[in-house]
């Protein structure tokens, strides 16, 4: 059995290497993908660890980072709610729930909402505003299925319904995530994670706001309405592969460190490093760093990639039959105020 599992993991890694080579970052495609809200991370623990938690994440918090981790949920049910202050007064609210379904596996459901606030309506004739306001609606509703195949291997898949509305224009699409986690990869504490994210058809806006009134002089036809056909935008698909190591020093102290490489089809490839210190499974300190060596440099000669270091802390407390976790994360951003994230997880 062990040899079979090892061969399966080796095959998956080889497939990942082939896909990485076939989808190397293309500078001309950067910024052309749609549904960018899919790339906004959720959950304070994973953000504080710089994204490297895709190797370690378990239970409901894993639904975004690596759906396979949902299959390692220990309790009968878990719930998570998270809030992020993004940038430019944008807020991201995320809620998720995971439920054990016996021998079938574990089922999870989540909702992500991006709140942009009120934005003035402007037109070509009134570039300073019409006096009206609007607020875009970006929602992502996801359903996840995961299962621990053995005490070492877990797999999972997530299907997400994406809806976007701006004024009287809307767009919708569907995206899939696939993930696998392998624990104790030949060495006790050595873990592997692999995920393919945001795979699906392109999205295209439609609606009455795409109607334009044209007045062609000299035809005598007067003003004629016509619709502008919006271009279709592909989803920001990505392939992630990560490794991590967990070490228990004594009964009270342990730590984990991990790294991840993300191959992005529509932005610069990323490298993520992170770690977590655990004291008595009560108090946690976390940190991480993200960098993109291929990113172009700004006028000051610095890499133009927005993100770099992350910091965070967490508290965990077990009551009779209830697990409570509170986590905080700070993600530094160049050129903007940093992101502040808080999360509350409850397990039964």
Domain layout of the chain by residue ranges: 2-347
β-pair partners for 330: 311, 340
What backbone torsions phi and psi does residue 17 show, to the nearest 5 degrees? -65, -40
Fold of 2-347: Porin (2.40.160)
Question: Measuring CA to CA, which residue among 204, 226, 200 is closest to residue 213?
Answer: 226
DSSP state of 187: S
Residues 38, 40, 44, CA angle at the centre, nearest 5°? Answer: 130
pLDDT value for 123: 83
pLDDT value for 4: 52
Is residue 2 within 8 A of residue 10, CB to CB? The reply is: no
Weakly modelled stretches of the chain, pLDDT under 70? 1-28, 217-220, 299-301, 303
Find tokens 């990560």 and name the residue.
242
Q: Strands 283-291 and 270-279, how do they pair?
A: antiparallel
pLDDT value for 259: 96
């Amino acid at each position: 059995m062990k040899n079979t599992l090892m061969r399966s993991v080796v095959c998956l890694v080889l497939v990942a290497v082939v896909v990485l080579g076939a989808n190397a970052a293309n500078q001309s495609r950067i910024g052309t993908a749609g549904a960018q809200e899919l790339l906004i991370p959720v959950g304070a623990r994973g953000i504080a660890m710089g994204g490297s938690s895709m190797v370690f994440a378990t239970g409901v918090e894993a639904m975004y980072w690596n759906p396979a981790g949902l299959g390692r949920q220990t309790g009968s049910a878990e719930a998570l709610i998270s809030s992020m202050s993004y940038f430019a007064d944008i807020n991201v609210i995320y809620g998720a729930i995971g439920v054990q379904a016996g021998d079938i596996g574990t089922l999870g459901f989540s909702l992500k909402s991006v709140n942009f606030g009120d934005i003035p309506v402007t037109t070509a004739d009134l570039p300073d505003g019409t006096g009206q306001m609007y607020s875009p609606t970006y929602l992502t509703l996801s359903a996840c299925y995961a299962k621990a195949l053995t005490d070492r291997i877990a797999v999972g898949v997530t299907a997400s319904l994406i809806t976007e509305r701006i004024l009287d224009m809307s767009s919708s699409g569907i995206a899939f995530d696939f993930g696998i986690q392998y624990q104790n990869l030949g060495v006790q504490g050595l873990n592997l994670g692999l995920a393919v994210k945001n795979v699906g058809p392109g999205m295209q806006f439609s609606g009455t706001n795409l109607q334009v009134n044209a007045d062609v002089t000299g035809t005598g036809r007067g003003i004629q309405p016509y619709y502008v056909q919006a271009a279709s935008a592909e989803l920001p698909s990505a392939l992630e592969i990560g490794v991590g190591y967990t070490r228990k020093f004594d009964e009270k102290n342990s730590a984990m460190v991990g790294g991840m490489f993300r191959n992005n089809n529509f932005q610069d490839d990323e490298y993520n490093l992170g770690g977590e210190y655990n004291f008595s499974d009560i108090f946690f300190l976390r940190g991480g760093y993200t960098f993109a060596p291929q990113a172009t440099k700004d006028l000051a000669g610095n890499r133009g990639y927005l993100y770099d270091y992350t910091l965070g802390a967490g508290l965990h407390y077990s009551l009779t039959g209830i697990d409570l976790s509170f986590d905080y994360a700070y993600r530094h951003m160049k050129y903007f105020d940093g992101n502040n994230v808080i999360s509350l997880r409850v397990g039964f």
